[in-house]
């Protein structure tokens, strides 16, 4: 068996997440319309400020909500009312309360692979929100380890493998983000499977690592068990 651990991203790999962010951004732009701010301008300002705030606020709903407030103040030149700021805060709160919807094939794939491989979940974002979603998913029992981290980059994965005594060449990461799930894992010598989500946050995009024989892409999660078996049989 080549893999000692198969690790999964959570948001937009096992369950829907980015679609809720998109809905909230549309509602945010609606709040700014009475101030003469068109939707595209509102979204452009929010995207720029959100990226700039990542170093201070990190990933997740709380940081996103603060960035919406920050963007609203800038886009309206400070004219945004306290009532509308409260409405923006309520948009953020609503994101922490929505129902969780698993992606197709998530249960079957995790169940099948857990019978042969130790599974790990590696996700980033707000601790409270991620813990809520992990519990609500009903998938926690299939994972030997669950790690909620502030970011997923080269240092994160290096520390993770050291923590659990794992060799990169025996580690497989599965996720929908080139930037967070694929490229840093390949850089440390691990294996990575890209499973695209219907919409991906622009921050998480990256150049597809064509020609890397430890990189694979599949159309949906249901194809993963067969792919893992194929990799195992050919190495």
Mean pLDDT of 45-71: 94
Query: pLDDT band for position 24 (50/70/90)?
Result: very high
Domain 5-16+101-234: CATH superfamily is HAD superfamily/HAD-like (3.40.50.1000)
Class of domain 18-95: mainly alpha
Taking each helix axis from N to C end, the angle separating 61-75 and 82-95, rounded to the nearest 10 degrees, works out to: 150
Rounded (5°) CA angle 68-36-200: 40
Each residue's pLDDT tens digit, 75-110: 999 999 999 999 999 999 999 888 899 999 999 999
The predicted pLDDT at position 19 comes to 86
Taking each helix axis from N to C end, the angle separating 39-57 and 61-75, rounded to the nearest 10 degrees, works out to: 130
Rounded CA separation 176/200 (Å): 8
The predicted pLDDT at position 1 comes to 67
Domain ranges of the chain: 5-16+101-234, 18-95
- HSE toward the beta carbon, residue 5, CA cutoff 13 A: 21
Rounded CA separation 177/204 (Å): 5
Each residue's pLDDT tens digit, 179-189: 999 999 999 99
């Amino acid at each position: 068996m080549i893999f000692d651990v198969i690790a999964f991203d959570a948001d937009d790999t096992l369950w829907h997440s980015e679609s809720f962010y998109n809905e909230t951004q549309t509602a945010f732009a609606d709040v700014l319309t009475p101030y003469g701010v068109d939707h595209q301008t509102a979204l452009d300002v929010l995207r720029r400020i959100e990226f700039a705030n990542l170093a201070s606020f990190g990933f997740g709903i709380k940081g996103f909500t603060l960035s919406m407030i920050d963007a609203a103040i800038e886009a309206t030149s400070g004219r945004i009312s306290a009532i509308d700021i409260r409405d923006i805060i309520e948009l953020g709160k609503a994101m922490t309360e929505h129902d969780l919807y698993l992606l197709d094939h998530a249960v079957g794939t995790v169940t099948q692979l857990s019978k042969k491989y130790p599974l790990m979940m590696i996700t980033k974002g707000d601790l409270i929100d991620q813990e809520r979603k992990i519990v609500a998913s009903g998938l926690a029992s299939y994972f030997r380890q669950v790690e909620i981290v502030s970011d997923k980059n080269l240092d994160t994965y290096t520390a993770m493998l050291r923590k659990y005594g794992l060799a990169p060449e025996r580690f497989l990461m599965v996720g929908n983000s080139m930037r967070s799930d694929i490229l840093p894992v390949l850089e440390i010598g691990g294996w990575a499977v890209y499973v695209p989500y219907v919409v991906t946050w622009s921050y998480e995009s990256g150049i597809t690592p064509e020609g890397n024989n430890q990189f694979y892409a599949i159309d949906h999660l249901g194809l993963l068990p067969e792919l893992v078996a194929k990799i195992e049989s050919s190495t």
